[in-house]
Amino acid sequence: MQVGSFFCRLSIKRWSLLLSTAATLLLLPPCVYPIAALPMTILASVLSFLSSPRKPHTARDATTADAAIATAPTGSSRTQRFARTLSLVGGALCGLLVSTTAMAAPAEDQVITPDADKNLFVYNWSDYIDPQVLKDFEQETGITVHYDIMDSNEVLEAKLMVGSSGYDIIAPSIHVLKRLGDAGLLLPLDKSKLPNLKHLDPQKMAKIALIDKDNRYGIPYMELSTGIAYNTRKVAEIMGSDFKVDSWSILFDENVLKKLSQCGITALDSPSDMLCSTLIYMGRDPESTKAQDYEDAGEMLKILGRYVRYFHSSQYANDLASGDVCIGVAWAGDAQLANQRSLEAGLDPIAYVIPKEGALMGYDMLAITKTSKHPNNAHIFLNYIMRPEVIAKISDYIRYANANKDATALMDPEITSNKGIYYDEQTLQRMHIVVPPTEVERIMTRTWNNVISASAQ
């Protein structure tokens, strides 16, 4: 079609419609400007429509057409409708473009691309993450998380010692992290892939570096302590309202144990937690290297073993919450979680105390196994966990303290003001971080097996 002949055929009314239509193209949202063909296509379609030849009118047709013109919308009205249509179409295209771009673009702090195989195998403790965090991670990254539950550091260590465990991310306590790193079973972290390390508390990282040199193998996941959790009402009913749970002594006094066994006593299945806590009660060094100290602690624990319902490192939290047991050696976060669940069910408060003699504290770490088949996915996961808003959400859910300095302000004040979770200076003076050397670990394992065997008799 020749442009000159086209313009010559336009009436004044059509000229008006053409000019107003061209102006209407300016109403398109700016976000669709990159789709350059869209405005041009719309304009070309309008031009083609305006220049299309019309069938000759018969007299009857002419009369009908004149009547139609008389009742049809004016050019201005038609242009306004066209403008509204373009605006709606443009808005829809804009939304589509933005959402597509958001889906395709990685997060600002994701500095690497995932592995070709978008899977990640995680081995972590029971009730130790907000399930929504895993769903959000999967949705954002496209990486599918396979999450298995671990019950003890000893089982974790055994899995790694025999060869490829199949896991990418593991959650050892800090003393086990050191041993696994020394044995060459962990992948050194590539810190260039972890920009969110900047959010971690430098003082806490310095303490951790005394154990994990240069923070080479792991990032701190949660802070924890080992104390006593108990059902306030049930213990008061059995022992009297003036009975105080403030010392490890109640776990080694047979007169007390006989009474408390009526409502259920539990203890952790963790050699280091149980033996070192007993050494603290006995006034001995929880980092002792003397075999005799552990043998003496083992004899004390055999007294407790006669009255406990079981030794287990995860079941007790649910049983405390439901009222099936009333007291036991516990990790702080599990005790807080048990209290939350118990209160939500309209049951009794669960209290948690750091005994006056002192207690253990430490960190559960996140690390990448040396045999990981998805190292990039693992780094992306660790970096995601270190986002302040993510770790804050996890801490609020599981009620553990974390080592992320920028997350505290985002957390529930009920958590951060709870001295059973975030310890004050006075309490910290009674806390011990213990990292038993390998030879002591062997002594503890042997001693603990004897305690378990005696308790089963």
| 332, containing H or E segment | helix 332-344
Q: Is 68 part of a structural domain of the chain?
A: yes
The parent domain of residue 69 ranges over 3-104
Same domain, 174 and 187: yes
Structural domain count, the chain? 3
Rounded to the nearest angstrom, the gap between the alpha carbon of residue 16 and the centroid of all alpha carbons in its chain is 61
How many whole angstroms separate alpha carbon 214 and alpha carbon 189? 10
Q: Residue 429: which pLDDT band, with cuts at 50, 70 and 90?
A: confident
**Token code pair at residue 60:** 């009857």
Q: Residue 29: which pLDDT band, with cuts at 50, 70 and 90?
A: very low
Same domain, 327 and 295: yes
Residue 141 belongs to a domain with what CATH number?
3.40.190.10
Q: Is 421 part of a structural domain of the chain?
A: no
Q: Residue 81: which pLDDT band, with cuts at 50, 70 and 90?
A: low
pLDDT at 428: 84
Same domain, 138 and 269: no
- Half-sphere CA count of 412, side-chain side, radius 13 A: 13
**CB contact set of 397 (below 8 Å; sequence gap of 6+):** 129, 130
Assess whether pLDDT exceeds 80 at residue 91. no
**Could you tell me the maximum CA-CA distance found in the chain, to the nearest angstrom?**
120
Tell me the per-residue pLDDT of 301-329, one tens digit each, with 9 for 90 and over: 999 999 999 999 989 999 999 999 999 99
Report which residue type is found at 116: A
Same domain, 296 and 378: no
How many whole angstroms separate alpha carbon 420 and alpha carbon 154? 26
| Residue 333: Cβ-neighbour burial (10 angstroms; 0-12, 13-18, 19+) | buried
Mean pLDDT in the chain? 83
**CB contact set of 363 (below 8 Å; sequence gap of 6+):** 173, 174, 208, 220, 221, 222, 223, 224, 403
Domain boundary among 70, 104, 138: 104
pTM score? 0.68
Same domain, 341 and 373: no
